[in-house]
Amino acid sequence: MPVSQPTIPRLEEFLFGHARCPVTCGNHLEIGAGTVIPEVNFTLQAIEICPENWADIREQYSLMIEDLCRRAVELEVPGILFEFETLPPMTVNPAWGLEITEILSETIDRFHQSHGLRAALRLTPNDTRDHRRPPRMRSGPFWEGMVEFLHKAPHAGADLLAIESTGGKEVSDEGLMNADLKKVVFALGVLAPRDMEYLWGEILSACEGTDTVPSGDTACGFANTAMVLADRNMLPKVFAAVIRVASVPRDLVAYRVGARGPSKDCAYEGPYLKALAGVPISMEGRTAACAHLSHVGNIAQAVCDCWSNESVQKVRLLSADAPTVSLEQLAYDCRLMNVAGQSREDARKLRDWLVESDSALDPQAYVLRPDVVLRIASEIAREPTPYLQTRRAARAALREINRAFEEGRLRIPDRERRWLERLAKEAEELPDREEDLIAECLPETSRETFLPEEYGLS
């Protein structure tokens, strides 16, 4: 999988539905080969995951997938991806998560056989290593439970395997709360890549010899945390925008070692992954308002290959249960994209409308502009290591944001402007050598929350 240079050289070719390296999975489902498909994620209402409630939980999942498959057939979707993101107790106790996986997989297969539904199941276990501070990244019961889950997942019916890995999150969290760019770059550019190489070795080994596709990883615990905090006015949006772009190199590690996509829906940095690794991407925007709010509702859709809802609870709405409602909204968006996609000119027009409707209003949207993505991706590709890529990504994002603001193409509130200057200074002060960054950061981190040896550092 090429990651050392952009696979999409020209803006004209950067379109929804088309990826350089399409993926085939599940029941003859092609992703990124010209058609955009919905990806639906669904979850339970508030309920304790325990043996007493287990029969009810099984039934809830069974009802949800049955309804979703039936409606997908009625809507004649060209294909569909279902995502089952386990709840933490279902990874800690792999038998639970695998049992639900089997229920979902069997239902999807039944609808394929009876109605020809082209579908696949993406399984995303939790990275439970984050359960303890300081986290043990390569040993202990959480690691062992997760590894067991990963290795059994293909046999339970997972067509795609993904994860939201958390290596470095224990340091990033503190960095985010203090808007400490150096610390977040240390987490994203030094710790996360080291952890991902190790973790993804395990995921690839679980998929080896099976039909399960190792799909992708996401910086959800990093960039989405920043995005949600910014949305609640807790962090500057310019900072969240920089963190979004700075998270790209850590995601790329998964594709460098063998993940094939589609990227996870909550990886809003997806366009960069599509540009650099050539993988199809799943994205979520306004359709994910059921899970969290954002300022990238339209622009997130601009170059997607799967269009997702992030997650929706099984609550009853006037028309149907919320997951089915969510599917319907996604399916109609996909219909529109696929009609526009019949002509490259129309596809570009729709893409550009999605982009222009958001990009001037928020720096987090601006850094997702396809033209900006291609410029910054070219810069990232020129750097040889994840750390230097991360540093370059942060600096380039700040430069793009500053320039757009100065030229009147991006609105930034007064109270955020002082942060642009501060962040630019911090980005310029990042050292040239990774060893120097490590030497600076280790004394500034607490051993109560972070153990360097878990990342091969000491």
Partner 1 sequence: MVDREKLYQAILTGDAKSARALTEEALKESVDPKELLDKTLIPAMDEVGRLFETNEYFVPELLISARAMKSALELIKPLLAEKGAEPAGRVAIGTVKGDLHDIGKNLVAAMLEGGGFEVVDLGVDVSPEAFVTAAKDKGASIIALSALLTTTMPAMKKVVAALEEAGIRERVKVMIGGAPITQRYADEIGADGYSDNASGAVALARSLAAKVPAAA
3-state class (DSSP) for residue 425: helix
User: Judged by CB, which is closer to partner 1: 429, or 435?
Assistant: 429
The number of angstroms, rounded, from the C-alpha of 448 to the middle of its chain's C-alpha atoms is 29
Shortest spacing between CB 454 and partner 1, in angstroms: 17
CB 29 within 8 A of CB 118: yes
DSSP 35: -
- Pick from 28, 56, 63, 133 the residue near partner 1 by CB under 8 A: 133
Shortest spacing between CB 220 and partner 1, in angstroms: 12
Written as one string, the DSSP assignment of 186-197 is IIIIIIHHHHHH
Task: Kindly indicate which of the ranges 60-68, 117-125, 131-139, 297-305 contains the residues binding partner 1, using the contact rule CB under 8 A.
Answer: 131-139
Task: Kindly indicate which of the ranges 145-153, 177-185, 323-331, 342-350 contains the residues binding partner 1, using the contact rule CB under 8 A.
Answer: 177-185
Task: Kindly indicate which of the ranges 17-25, 45-53, 318-326, 374-382 contains the residues binding partner 1, using the contact rule CB under 8 A.
Answer: 45-53
DSSP 223: I
User: Judged by CB, which is closer to partner 1: 173, or 217?
Assistant: 173
Is residue 317 a contact residue for partner 1 (CB under 8 A)?
no
Is residue 415 a contact residue for partner 1 (CB under 8 A)?
yes
Residue position matching structure tokens 């304790």: 48
Is residue 63 a contact residue for partner 1 (CB under 8 A)?
no
Shortest spacing between CB 180 and partner 1, in angstroms: 8
Give dist(CA 307, CA 331) in Å, integer: 9
- Pick from 114, 178, 385, 446 the residue near partner 1 by CB under 8 A: 178
Task: Kindly indicate which of the ranges 30-38, 149-157, 228-236, 379-387 contains the residues binding partner 1, using the contact rule CB under 8 A.
Answer: 228-236
User: Judged by CB, which is closer to partner 1: 4, or 178?
Assistant: 178
Shortest spacing between CB 415 and partner 1, in angstroms: 6
Is residue 234 a contact residue for partner 1 (CB under 8 A)?
yes
Is residue 293 a contact residue for partner 1 (CB under 8 A)?
no
Is residue 173 a contact residue for partner 1 (CB under 8 A)?
yes
The number of angstroms, rounded, from the C-alpha of 152 to the middle of its chain's C-alpha atoms is 23
Applying the rule CB under 8 A, the residues between 236 and 255 that interact with partner 1 are 236
Is residue 45 a contact residue for partner 1 (CB under 8 A)?
yes
Token digits of residue 273: 């992954």
User: Judged by CB, which is closer to partner 1: 131, or 151?
Assistant: 131
Give dist(CA 174, CA 19) in Å, integer: 36
Applying the rule CB under 8 A, the residues between 327 and 346 that interact with partner 1 are none
CB 267 within 8 A of CB 222: no
Task: Kindly indicate which of the ranges 94-102, 225-233, 271-279, 353-361 contains the residues binding partner 1, using the contact rule CB under 8 A.
Answer: 225-233
3-state class (DSSP) for residue 383: coil
Residue 284 pairs in a beta bridge with 308
Q: Which of 256, 143, 262 is nearest to 213 (CA)?
A: 262
Alpha-carbon dihedral sign for residues 406, 407, 408, 412: negative
Give dist(CA 89, CA 83) in Å, integer: 17
Q: Which residues contact 336 (CB under 8 A, 6 or more apart)?
A: 350
**Interface mask (CB under 8 A) for partner 1, residues 358-397, using x and -?**
----------------------------------------
- Pick from 10, 48, 342, 453 the residue near partner 1 by CB under 8 A: 48
- Cα end-to-end distance, the chain, whole Å: 32
Residue 321 pairs in a beta bridge with 316
Q: Which amino acid is at 185?
A: V
Max Cα–Cα distance, the chain, nearest Å? 61
Applying the rule CB under 8 A, the residues between 87 and 106 that interact with partner 1 are 87-89
CB 361 within 8 A of CB 367: no
The radius of gyration of the chain from alpha carbons, rounded to an integer in Å, stands at 21
Shortest spacing between CB 257 and partner 1, in angstroms: 26
Task: Kindly indicate which of the ranges 27-35, 230-238, 387-395, 401-409 contains the residues binding partner 1, using the contact rule CB under 8 A.
Answer: 230-238
Mark out the alpha helices in 21-93 (DSSP H runs). 54-74, 88-92
Is residue 49 a contact residue for partner 1 (CB under 8 A)?
yes
User: Judged by CB, which is closer to partner 1: 81, or 427?
Assistant: 427
Which residues bind to partner 1, rule: CB under 8 A? 43-49, 87-89, 130-133, 173, 176-180, 225, 229, 233-236, 313, 415, 419
